[in-house]
């Protein structure tokens, strides 16, 4: 999307007060998500060594920021895109029991992002991962987890309202669960992004299941790397996929707003099936993938929840630069300033 200036945008919090509100949101939400999912905080890396298979490949086209490490003989390290696979390795290292897990503050640099109201080259999110049993690898467990996260979102929204009563809550009581194939059947003439807009505007909050596998039109709803979320296993609703996206309707920008990508992680069997589907079976030789295929990593569910995006949504801001410090084109900064949008 290009830069959007909402009609008659009103600044609800001054920059100094916004800083206080950001801390309020981050403290409140991480406490609630940790309690809801039995998570404990761990320390995470900013970068990992290249060639280990630990970094998140996102859609497979984004290039990680990398640099040579002098003390390691010039070996390349790369800034993480996310910690989807690293967290699963940490569950194994700590021997975390089913039903319990970890979360961490993840910071990334994604230089391929197009800079607009909701995209920045700086990404900050809570990355979380929970150990599960083989019998938990089903749609019911996925949806139950989504509803726990959504409850934490609504509770945090209420805390913001209690502190700043002029920022009134907008989240609906429940989140609509819908599969990407169902969306295609509902809106066959629309693009995936247009389908997201229609369903999210209608319900206010949606969880779109099944991101990565080809739908009946021969195309995936959106891209997913083949080696963390399980998007190929049939679920008990009759479709493929044990992953999805939490989408909220952004009333300020009038757009669907992705807050979280999450899912049940690949089993050894679905990993190989997905690697074959994407034509990258050679990844099976990487250290992370070898560990998974050898049964050394636990079954898990996990995801990322955007910190700046959550703050932007709950504080009803028009630009993500109002809640995070990053870099923006000068013309974008000036255009925002002329319309009462002040970027950090």
Positions marked active-site: 56, 110, 125, 245, 258, 261
Three-state secondary-structure class, residue 123: strand
Whole-number CA gyration radius for the chain: 20
Q: Which long-range contacts (CB under 8 A, 24 or more apart) does 336-342 make?
A: 336/3, 336/5, 339/5, 339/9, 340/9, 340/10, 340/11, 341/5, 341/9, 341/11, 342/11, 342/15
Cα 313 from Cα 36, distance rounded (Å): 21
Cβ neighbours of residue 21 under 8 Å, at least 6 residues apart?
Answer: 13, 160, 163, 164, 311, 315
Query: Per this entry, what is the length of the chain?
Result: 344
| Residue-wise burial string across 280-310, b where 16 or more C-beta atoms lie within 10 A, e elsewhere | eeebbebebbebbbeeebbbbbbbbbbbbbb
Q: What φ, ψ does residue 284 adopt, rounded to 5°?
A: -60, -20
Cite the beta strand spans of 93-173 per DSSP E. 101-109, 122-131
Instruction: Count CB neighbours of 192 within 10 A.
Output: 18
Q: Which residues pair with residue 105 across a beta bridge?
A: 126
Cα 280 from Cα 161, distance rounded (Å): 48
Q: Are 44 and 86 in contact (CB under 8 A)?
A: yes
Q: What is the 3-class SS of 10-69, one letter each residue?
A: CCCCCHHHHHHHHHHHHHHHHHHHHHHHCEEECCCCCEEECCCCCCCCCCCCCCCCEEEE
Q: Is the dihedral of CA 155, 161, 163, 164 positive or negative?
A: positive
Cα 237 from Cα 140, distance rounded (Å): 10
């Amino acid at each position: 999307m290009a830069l959007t200036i909402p009609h008659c945008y009103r600044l609800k919090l001054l920059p100094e007060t916004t800083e206080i509100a950001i801390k309020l949101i981050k403290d409140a939400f991480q406490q609630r998500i940790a309690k809801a999912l039995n998570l404990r905080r761990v320390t995470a890396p900013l970068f990992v060594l290249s060639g280990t298979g630990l970094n998140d490949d996102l859609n497979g086209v984004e290039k990680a920021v990398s640099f040579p490490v002098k003390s390691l003989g010039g070996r390349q390290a790369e800034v993480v895109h996310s910690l989807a696979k690293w967290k699963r390795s940490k569950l194994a290292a700590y021997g975390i029991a089913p039903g319990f897990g970890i979360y961490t503050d993840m910071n990334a640099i994604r230089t391929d992002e197009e800079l607009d109201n909701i995209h920045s080259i700086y990404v900050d999110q809570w990355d979380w991962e929970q150990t599960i049993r083989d019998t938990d690898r089903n749609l019911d467990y996925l949806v139950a987890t989504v509803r726990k996260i959504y409850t934490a979102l609504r509770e945090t929204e209420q805390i913001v309202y209690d502190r700043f009563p002029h920022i009134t809550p907008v989240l609906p009581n429940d989140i609509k669960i819908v599969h990407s194939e169902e969306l295609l059947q509902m809106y066959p003439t629309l693009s995936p992004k247009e389908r997201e807009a229609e369903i999210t505007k209608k319900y206010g909050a949606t969880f779109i299941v099944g991101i990565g596998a080809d739908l009946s039109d021969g195309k995936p709803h959106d891209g997913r790397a083949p080696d963390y979320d399980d998007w190929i296993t049939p679920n008990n609703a009759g479709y493929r996929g044990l992953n999805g996206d939490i989408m909220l309707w952004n009333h300020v920008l009038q757009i669907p707003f992705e807050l979280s990508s999450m899912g049940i992680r690949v089993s050894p069997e679905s990993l190989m099936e997905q690697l074959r589907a994407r034509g990258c079976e050679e990844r099976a030789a990487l250290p992370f993938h070898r560990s998974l295929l050898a049964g050394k990593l636990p079954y898990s569910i996990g995801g990322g929840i955007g910190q700046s995006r959550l703050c932007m949504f709950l504080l009803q801001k028009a630009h993500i630069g109002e809640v995070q410090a990053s870099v923006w084109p000068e013309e974008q900064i000036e255009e925002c300033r002329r319309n009462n949008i002040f970027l950090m």
